[in-house]
């Protein structure tokens, strides 16, 4: 790593890794928490830590004291960290990776390592299969079986990169490549552009009159660990963490066919080529070709589709899920756009586990054009978040009133709650408390492994509560590793529609829950959606586009989404719900 290119995120990754390794070694928990706190602060910093360091103000970052500031300085100065090198000499790095296995935590990993010398997953699997784990203190047959099934789940996990990592990386890459000479435009393609939750390679496409400069710039990135192929029109590289990227360069007059081709999906492209053949045209990434060999060049994707007699099909729809048929019939949906969003209905403040005060959150939302924000902190039983008690709610209401007065009519602040759906399906607050709130989101966070029937009934019970307006991140999945609850979604959707309860598309890239498929099904059934960031920090508000993309992949149009409604319409909907319950 060249020191001056180290990002806040790379620093955060480093300190999280230190925390993992220390935890496996058996360090006192508070030291580990300190590293994690520092990592979290760095990751959500608005300014470059590098600049802060140059101003000599590192210790002003929350959670960064003398020791961590010195480590950051060492990283910036030398590109290395002696402390981490010493630590990894003692605790194998492969142990940290094992933390990704569900139900396997630092204590167990440390135990297996110290008692059996296990340092990686295959050794662990072998030990579990031969019944060695059950002989250790605190272990038994069930624990051994649980670990085996955890390893299976981990192996099933895709090696693809979550969109939350791939997207910002691609953005930085594109802005860098855009500075090359002779370049007209640089764009994302592939599954990243289609908005899939994970991507394999990053596909970047450039239009340039001459490819030499941009190819050279692409290949000169110091973060590249391996060049897999290099050529005039296409090069392919691998970065640290297994991230791979390829860059194609095409002449501007052929950019449309190239971009369409590189965006895919493969199945969508097959269907397009079939359509072309029916018109005696052959379609490739370079052009349409007539039987006599002459070409039709397309500089834009619009002209590619137009040549086939089709309207433009948005990338998110290009999955061969009926979009070409719909386009032929003139029945493509008018997809929701990020500009349609007026409200944020799910966000946290320092009243629970958020990092902003009510005023800071409201102002941050206002700066992003939101006209309404719902303060929806956690309820008490999710104790780790410092959830609110009934008494807290009253005091919070007073603060909201004060902030509302201060901010005037620039943004409307409502009091909501993200109320916990307990293991038995009851809610964390009695009905009379919920009745006093402006809007209620109910969510599952615990006991997500209950059997299908039990957890479905639990969620249905919450949906039937007349005070619940929205179900937050319905399945509780966490990407890429943790699968959501085993819900009977058909029953959940039906109940939600009958009770006029909205389901959330949580926009955080680790959730995107509901997913695109369920969102599409739900809207087709007549359901209402909410698209929320679930913000815990200011930068989280900028993750909204992931939720919008997921909705677009689900063929969702703006009217089906509460957040797009004019504020009076939304308030009237809430009032009507409240009056009739």
Partner DNA sequence: GCCGTTTTCGGCCCGACTGTTTTCAGTCG
Binding site for DNA (CB under 7 A): 28-31, 33-38, 59, 62-69, 102-109, 111, 134, 137-144, 146, 381-384, 423, 445-450, 478, 482
Shortest distance in whole angstroms from residue 523 CB to DNA: 27
Residue 109 zone, left/alpha/beta (φ > 0; ψ -120 to 50; rest): alpha
Q: Tokens at residue 340, please?
A: 């349609």
Cβ distance to DNA smaller for residue 83 or 312 = 83
Shortest distance in whole angstroms from residue 82 CB to DNA: 12
Within 8 A by CB and 6+ apart from 407, the residues are 359, 362, 363, 366, 413
Cβ distance to DNA smaller for residue 34 or 495 = 34
The Cα–Cα gap between 572 and 495 comes to: 22
In which residue are the tokens 């031969």 written?
A: 130
The Cα–Cα gap between 501 and 550 comes to: 20
Cβ distance to DNA smaller for residue 75 or 298 = 75
CB 505 within 8 A of CB 530: yes
Within 8 A by CB and 6+ apart from 269, the residues are 260, 261
Shortest distance in whole angstroms from residue 63 CB to DNA: 5
Containing H/E element for 545? helix 544-553
Shortest distance in whole angstroms from residue 478 CB to DNA: 6
Cβ distance to DNA smaller for residue 106 or 314 = 106
Shortest distance in whole angstroms from residue 25 CB to DNA: 12
The Cα–Cα gap between 115 and 120 comes to: 14
Contacts of the segment 242-245: beta carbons below 8 A, 24+ positions apart: 242/159, 242/161, 243/161, 243/165, 243/166, 243/169, 243/202, 244/200, 244/201, 244/202, 245/170, 245/173, 245/201, 245/202, 245/203, 245/204
Cβ distance to DNA smaller for residue 97 or 295 = 97
Backbone phi and psi for residue 573, each to the nearest 5 degrees, phi listed first: -60, -45
Cβ distance to DNA smaller for residue 44 or 302 = 44
Cβ distance to DNA smaller for residue 33 or 435 = 33
Shortest distance in whole angstroms from residue 103 CB to DNA: 4
- 202-208 vs 244-250, strand pairing mode: parallel
Cβ distance to DNA smaller for residue 184 or 423 = 423
Cβ distance to DNA smaller for residue 72 or 283 = 72
The Cα–Cα gap between 473 and 441 comes to: 10
Cβ distance to DNA smaller for residue 140 or 322 = 140
Nearest by Cα to 284 from 298, 186, 309: 298
Shortest distance in whole angstroms from residue 57 CB to DNA: 12
Nearest by Cα to 333 from 524, 156, 163: 524
Residue 183 zone, left/alpha/beta (φ > 0; ψ -120 to 50; rest): beta
Shortest distance in whole angstroms from residue 450 CB to DNA: 7
Shortest distance in whole angstroms from residue 36 CB to DNA: 6
Q: Tokens at residue 255, please?
A: 């950019």
**Number of residues written out for the chain:** 581
Shortest distance in whole angstroms from residue 553 CB to DNA: 24
Q: DSSP alpha helices (H): ranges in 465-536?
A: 489-498, 516-525
Shortest distance in whole angstroms from residue 109 CB to DNA: 6
Shortest distance in whole angstroms from residue 388 CB to DNA: 14
Backbone phi and psi for residue 250, each to the nearest 5 degrees, phi listed first: -130, 155
Q: Tokens at residue 355, please?
A: 């990092």
Cβ distance to DNA smaller for residue 477 or 553 = 477
3-state class (DSSP) for residue 450: coil
3-state class (DSSP) for residue 129: helix
Cβ distance to DNA smaller for residue 109 or 247 = 109
Cβ distance to DNA smaller for residue 30 or 229 = 30
CB 326 within 8 A of CB 541: no
In which residue are the tokens 């060999």 written?
A: 293
DSSP string, 173-191: HHHHHTTSTTEEEEEE-HH
Shortest distance in whole angstroms from residue 446 CB to DNA: 5
Q: What does DSSP assign to residue 334?
A: -
CB 173 within 8 A of CB 198: no
Cβ distance to DNA smaller for residue 111 or 215 = 111
Cα 95 to chain center, whole Å?
25
């Amino acid at each position: 790593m060249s020191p001056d290119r180290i990002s806040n995120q790379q620093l955060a990754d480093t300190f999280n890794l230190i925390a993992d390794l220390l935890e496996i070694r058996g360090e006192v928990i508070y030291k580990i928490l300190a590293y994690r706190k520092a990592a979290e602060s760095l990751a959500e910093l608005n300014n470059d830590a590098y600049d802060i360091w140059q101003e000599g103000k590192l210790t002003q970052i929350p959670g960064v004291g003398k020791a961590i500031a010195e480590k950051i300085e060492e990283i910036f100065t030398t590109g290395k960290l002696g402390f981490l090198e010493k630590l990894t000499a003692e605790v194998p790095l492969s142990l940290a990776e094992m933390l990704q296995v569900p139900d396997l935590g630092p204590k167990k990993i440390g135990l297996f390592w110290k008692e059996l010398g296990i340092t990686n997953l295959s050794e662990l699997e072998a030990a579990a299969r031969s019944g060695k784990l059950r002989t250790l203190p605190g272990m038994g047959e069930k624990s051994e079986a649980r670990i085996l099934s955890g390893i299976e789940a981990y192996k099933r996990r895709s090696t693809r990169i979550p969109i939350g990592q791939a997207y910002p990386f691609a953005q930085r890459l594109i802005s860098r490549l855009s500075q090359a000479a002779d370049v007209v435009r640089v764009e994302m393609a592939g599954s990243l552009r289609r908005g899939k939750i994970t991507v394999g390679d990053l596909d970047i496409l450039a239009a340039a009159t001459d490819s030499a400069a941009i190819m050279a710039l692409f290949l000169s990135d110091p973060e590249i660990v391996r060049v897999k192929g290099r050529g005039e029109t296409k090069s392919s590289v691998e970065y640290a963490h297994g991230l791979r990227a390829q860059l194609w360069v095409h002449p501007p007059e052929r950019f449309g066919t190239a971009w369409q081709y590189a965006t895919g999906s493969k199945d969508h492209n097959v269907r397009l080529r079939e359509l072309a053949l029916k018109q005696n045209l052959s379609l490739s990434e370079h052009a349409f070709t007539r039987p006599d060999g002459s070409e039709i060049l397309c500089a834009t994707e619009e002209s590619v589709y137009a040549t086939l007699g089709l309207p433009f099909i948005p990338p998110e729809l290009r999955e061969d899920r009926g979009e070409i048929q719909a386009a032929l019939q003139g029945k493509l949906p008018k997809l929701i756009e990020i500009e349609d969003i007026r409200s944020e209905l799910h966000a946290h403040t320092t009243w629970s586990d958020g990092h902003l005060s009510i005023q800071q959150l409201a102002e941050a939302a206002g700066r992003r054009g939101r006209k309404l924000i719902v303060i929806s902190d956690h309820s008490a039983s999710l104790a780790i978040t410092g959830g609110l008690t009934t008494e807290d709610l009253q005091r919070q209401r007073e603060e909201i009133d004060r902030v509302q007065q201060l901010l005037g009519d620039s943004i409307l602040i409502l009091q909501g709650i993200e109320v916990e759906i307990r293991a038995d399906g009851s809610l964390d607050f009695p009905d009379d408390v919920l009745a006093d709130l402006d809007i209620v989101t109910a969510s599952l966070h615990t006991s997500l492994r209950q059997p299908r029937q039990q957890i479905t009934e639990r969620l249905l019970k919450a949906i039937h509560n007349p005070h619940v307006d929205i179900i937050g991140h319905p399945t509780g999945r966490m990407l890429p590793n943790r699968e959501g609850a085993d819900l009977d979604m058909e029953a959940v959707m039906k109940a939600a529609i009958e009770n006029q309860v909205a389901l959330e598309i949580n926009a955080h890239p680790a959730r995107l829950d509901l997913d695109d498929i369920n969102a599409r099904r739900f809207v087709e059934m007549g359901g209402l959606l909410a698209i929320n960031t679930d913000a815990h920090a200011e930068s989280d508000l900028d993750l909204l586009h992931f939720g919008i993309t997921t909705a677009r992949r689900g063929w969702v149009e703006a009217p089906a989404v509460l957040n797009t409604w004019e504020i009076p319409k939304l308030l009237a909907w809430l009032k009507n719900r409240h009056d009739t319950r």
